[in-house]
Structure 1
């Protein structure tokens, strides 16, 4: 059902950072972004509700990175380097969560992932967010059997 909130558990690669994320509309908010930082890290994210990321273990090993307007804050494990979540620039009260960190999920589980135009960010242009395309995952013989 649309608008349904779901709590999912997640962790970084080494397991030092463990968290819970209360998602806005479960996995229906999945997307990627074309901004310079997201483009380089290649993460697929879903939206968490306001204050919807709760670090259960490893807060002391989380580190963060801010750039450009310094509004968005990107969190990652200082041990294994995995990006876990970020505070959004478009809505600093909301978080994006790395799908690859959520239990039982892989970004390759999704056939198509919308790509938003982060290069022309709504906070810079004054225009609504734009979709920049769709990332399509085409299973190969190798991935189809996993």
Structure 2
């Protein structure tokens, strides 16, 4: 059974079938402290696809992706290599705590997510979710963007509550918060 046929995956996973045409990409955070490479099939740019189709880049509507501007692809873990600066990579766990989100401790760039645990739960091969805005070269305007809207309604619901300063004000005003 391929990862495209797993009974626990959504009907249409956010990654395409491999086409046999591969492209390699260099990525890095804004300051360059973290550098990494990925290999994808099909490629993300039409000029590399040999007429066999492109890898549509996912624009997710979950609260985190919307806030940081992620445009994501999902390469297999075996097709990603971090070459420099792992000591500068930090993780942030959202309320679901299923996929650590990576960012650079030096410049704050949003790099991607470790979705291996999520893939395991879905019965799929291990993948990362990588933000293509970190591409060293490449025009993001030339990408095929696929809007993904199912995440916004997935539990747990995003809610951080009022800031501490407002909580104090609300308590003083008798609102019960």
Count residues in correspondence. 121
Aligned partner of residue 31 in structure 1, secondary structure: strand
- Give the whole-Å Cα distance in 1 for the aligned partners of 2:56 and 2:20: 10
Instruction: Answer with 1 or 2: which has the greater Rg.
Output: 2
In the alignment, what sits opposite 1:52? 79
Higher helix share: 2
Higher strand share: 1
Query: What residue ranges of structure 2 are gaps of 5+ in the alignment?
Result: 1-17, 45-54, 121-125, 156-177
**Which one of the candidate residues 43, 60, 74 is aligned to 2:101?**
74
* Pairwise CA distance, 1:43: 1.4
Contact 1:44 1:107 in 2 (8 A): no
TM-score (norm. length: structure 2): 0.60
Query: What residue ranges of structure 1 are gaps of 5+ in the alignment?
Result: 125-146
- Give the whole-Å Cα distance in 2 for the aligned partners of 1:5 and 1:91: 22
- Give the whole-Å Cα distance in 2 for the aligned partners of 1:19 and 1:105: 15
TM-score (norm. length: structure 1): 0.72
Q: What is the root-mean-square deviation in Å for CA atoms of aligned residues?
A: 2.1
Q: Which consecutive aligned stretches of 4+ in structure 1 deviate over 6 angstroms post-superposition?
A: none
In the alignment, what sits opposite 2:12? none
**Which one of the candidate residues 139, 146, 150 is aligned to 1:114?**
146
